[in-house]
Amino acid sequence: MKKIIDNHGKLWGFINPLDLAVMLILFALAIKVFLDYRPAPLEFKVQWISIGLLARNVPPYLADSITIGQDVYQDSTGAYLGKVRATRINPAELLLEKNGAAILTQSPSQLDLRILVKNKGRIITGPAGYGIYFGKLGVRIGNHLKVHTLYSSVSGEIEYLRVNSREQ
């Protein structure tokens, strides 16, 4: 036993056994804390996403310039959002006031343009939440987007997002 513990009470002349026990307990505790609190990896799936974009009060020539098959890009980042799959044009709705009452009427000269854009996007999930991304652009319902095609530029908001299992 004297070969292991010297006259000063140290193991092999290097460390006190009590200090070694405390260091081993602290090391085991540090490993447990690291394993319990490390961030979980994010998971993502690539799926077809449909974006419904609503542009309010646009002039008729702008509504007519958006056609099926055009590529749609977000203006500030240049992120590719997909191809126009469908458009719907309705007269713009206006909210007017008359004698203290609100009246909903249609505009004689402006239109509401709804654009359906479809592309593959990433659905990212993790313990902190989830999101839908096209490249680095995260999209959410209610986001205001300024988008452009080859011939025109439109500002609107995302009306809906649909996740599809295939292109359709």
CA distance 130 to 126: 6
CA distance 132 to 134: 7
Pick the CATH number of 43-164 from 2.40.30, 2.40.360, 3.30.70, 3.20.20: 2.40.30
Instruction: Give the start-to-end residue ranges of the domains of the chain.
Output: 1-38, 43-164
73: which strand partners?
Answer: 80, 148
Strands 101-126 and 71-74: unpaired
pTM: 0.69
What is residue 60's predicted lDDT score, i.e. its pLDDT?
Answer: 93
Instruction: State the pLDDT confidence band at 7, using cuts at 50, 70 and 90.
Output: low
Query: In the predicted model, what is the mean pLDDT of residues 112-130?
Result: 87
CA distance 106 to 48: 35
Query: In the predicted model, what is the mean pLDDT of residues 52-75?
Result: 93
CA distance 51 to 149: 15
- pLDDT digit string, tens, across residues 84-113: 999 999 999 888 888 889 988 888 889 999
pLDDT of 4 strictly over 90? no
